[in-house]
Structure 1
Amino acid sequence: MPDVPPVPSTDPAPVPAWPGEQVATDGGTVFLRRTPWTGTEGGRRARALYVHGLGGASTNWTDLAALLAHRVEGYALDLPGFGRSAPPPHGSYSVVGHVRAVEAVLADVAARPGPGHGEPVHLLGNSLGGLVSLLVAVRRPDLVASLTLISPAMPVYRVPPAFDRAIALLLVPGVPALAEKRLRLGAPEDRVRATLEMCFGDPGRVPPARLAEAVEEMRVRDGQAWSGRALTRSMRGLMTSYLRVGRANAWRAARGVRVPALVVWGDRDKLVDPRLAPRLAAALPDARLQVQPGIGHVAMMEAPEETARAVLDLLDEVGGGEPDGAGAAHGTDRPDTSSVGHAAGGGPGGA
């Protein structure tokens, strides 16, 4: 199989964010972007759902979705309260609440007419979205064809030093409201650069066009009355979920995943310890592991080509999908990535 050609880091015209629509879920609605399938007649066509991390958005998947579009019709949601999605109707940002939202969207994607109708969907999640996707795969194996986890926010009991105090404060009643106000301090450009420093192994790889998109996304969030609340309360919900024991614990849940899985981790991840990667791969009954040197917390944004290769290998193993296209639109079984930028628009997800 031919290698995916490298992506120029100064690409002047990165792929724009995919369009989307509001879909019903758990009494409310979420925004769902769609990446059209680009294959040609004769190959296989399946569906995929992408789930972003804490503080991220569906736009975090723009580039990876483009690279996989010859193989899957892609869907990426904004979790409740993030991106273009309104806050959850009951005001809860628990992990269980996000799981229910993803389950509803997954069922919606599987039920849509056309090739792939009624078939399980390939589920990909990053950070918080990775943890949520894992729990969804355990709860609804009938809807999941494969599971890809990119630096998932698995429970840890020793957090990064920079987060020690912040996480402790978030668990104190009343403090999250103060944190919501502090999140808006400083210029959007400065806050975006600080986020990139935390989430990327090498922030210098972000093209100027993607940086501009992220800043604009930050400005949009600043105009949403609920954006700070969604971030702080989702973080609090994540930390609370780490205290669960027994069947509700995510490490125990991982052993119950019954679909083929892929674990992707950057060895410069500052938010979730890369040493968890082999542990998670060992816990999953049928897993493959890709550790990316020099890459941080959001491999699908910082290294979309390498991530796409690993995902495509998994999809080739899993098979499935209705015959409808013969590989990439360019006549190979790997995508042409020459016009795909390094980092998707919108803020990258945190933990």
Structure 2
Amino acid sequence: MQIRLAGGRIAAEVHGSGEPLLLFHSLLADRSSFDRITGQLAESFQVIVPDLPGFGASEAVTGGLEPIADRMAEAVRDLKGSHRPIVLGNGFGAFVALQMVIRHPGLVSRLVLADCGACFSEQGREAFRTMAAVSSAKGLSALSETAMRRLFAPDFQAAHPELMQERLAAFLRTDPAVFRAACEALAGLDLRPDLTKVDVPVLVLVGEQDEATPPAMSRELAAGLPDARLMILPGCAHVPQLQAPEHFLEATLTFLTNDDTGRDSERVQAVA
């Protein structure tokens, strides 16, 4: 089912019924990057998969990450259910979700942040500046190899050529202006001082081979949150829900259906 949220400015699709669970996609992908997990999640939740602002059929918003987070907060409020929704974000979508929860306390019940962080290293910041500059000068196609490398490890790419073609096509459908604005926002991002404002339990997931948001970023993020646990997914890179959907679901559902969500910053669980 297709719906519109945030006063009609956010397009989304809905699967299943029950407690609402929103999935925010990454910058290098689109909402179809969750296709391998929505069916199973919809057995337990009402799964809502929006296009982030400027992607798909959702209206763009200018001004950086904060206005994007505010627009998505409007979308969450539009659900008006008896339960506060759960939000799961991957990559850029996780940064949006984190900023949203910081700016809008009490909005969600739990948070899953996959392949995210609170602040990039200078090397990471420079990578975003470079991608913005290259896309401006030569177009997104000039970043094809870079984008795929940031999503998947080389050996996985070689073993899954059809998936790589599908993901590359999704990336090239991105609005270049939206892509550049997101790169610039991420290059200047530092949410570390605001992490204590996150008022819900958080699962921080990260692919062991993620080069875009390395595990060190997730460790720092989990350590700075008031109520978080960290899980590392072996063999995965930036989009583990595509690379290892069974393991991603195992980690996510264990967190979402377990009442024991207390903080244990030292616990690092490997899902084999």
TM-score by length of 1: 0.66
Say whether 1:94 aligns with 2:64: yes
Contact map agreement 1:124 1:149 (CA 8 A) in 2:
yes
Equivalent residues in 2 for 1:121-140, closer than 5 Å: 121-140=85-104
| 1:256 aligned to which of 168, 175, 197 | 197
Consecutive unaligned residues of structure 1, counting only runs of 5 or more, are 1-18, 38-44, 112-116, 171-175, 243-249, 320-351
Separation (CA, whole Å) in 1 of partners of 2:15 and 2:177: 29
1:297 Cα deviation after fit: 0.9
Equivalent residues in 2 for 1:158-177, closer than 5 Å: 158-160=122-124, 164=126, 167=129, 170=132
Consecutive unaligned residues of structure 2, counting only runs of 5 or more, are 261-272
Equivalent residues in 2 for 1:297-312, closer than 5 Å: 297-312=238-253
1:278 Cα deviation after fit: 2.2
Structure (1/2) with the larger helix percentage? 2
Separation (CA, whole Å) in 1 of partners of 2:10 and 2:91: 19
Contact map agreement 2:53 2:60 (CA 8 A) in 1:
yes
Residue 147 of structure 2: aligned partner: 195
Q: Which amino acid aligns with 2:184?
A: R
Contact map agreement 2:118 2:189 (CA 8 A) in 1:
no
Residue 52 of structure 1: aligned partner: 25
Contact map agreement 1:267 1:295 (CA 8 A) in 2:
yes
Say whether 1:232 aligns with 2:180: yes
Contact map agreement 2:203 2:230 (CA 8 A) in 1:
yes
Separation (CA, whole Å) in 2 of partners of 1:76 and 1:165: 28
Q: Which amino acid aligns with 1:149?
A: L
1:147 Cα deviation after fit: 0.5
Contact map agreement 1:55 1:82 (CA 8 A) in 2:
no
Residue 23 of structure 1: aligned partner: 5
Distance 1:280 1:165, change over 3 A: closer
| 2:78 aligned to which of 77, 83, 108 | 108
- Residues 149-179 of structure 1: CA distance to partner in whole angstroms, max 9, x if unpaired? 001142123324xx73661685xxxxx5x73
Contact map agreement 1:199 1:298 (CA 8 A) in 2:
yes
**Of the two, which has the highest radius of gyration?**
1
1:309 Cα deviation after fit: 0.9
Say whether 1:68 aligns with 2:41: yes
> Percent identity of the aligned residues?
23
1:97 Cα deviation after fit: 1.4
| 1:288 aligned to which of 220, 229, 232 | 229
- Residues 230-249 of structure 1: CA distance to partner in whole angstroms, max 9, x if unpaired? 0001111222333xxxxxxx
1:54 Cα deviation after fit: 1.7
Separation (CA, whole Å) in 2 of partners of 1:198 and 1:218: 12
Distance 1:105 1:265, change over 3 A: same
- SS of corresponding position for 2:5: strand
Residue 342 of structure 1: aligned partner: none
Q: What is the CA RMSD across the aligned residues, in angstroms?
A: 2.6
How many residues are matched? 258
Contact map agreement 2:117 2:220 (CA 8 A) in 1:
no
1:218 Cα deviation after fit: 5.0
Q: Which amino acid aligns with 2:248?
A: T
Contact map agreement 2:52 2:58 (CA 8 A) in 1:
yes
Contact map agreement 1:49 1:121 (CA 8 A) in 2:
yes
Higher relative contact order (CA 8 A, sep 6+): 1
1:266 Cα deviation after fit: 0.8
1:261 Cα deviation after fit: 0.9
Contact map agreement 1:32 1:77 (CA 8 A) in 2:
yes
Contact map agreement 2:106 2:199 (CA 8 A) in 1:
no
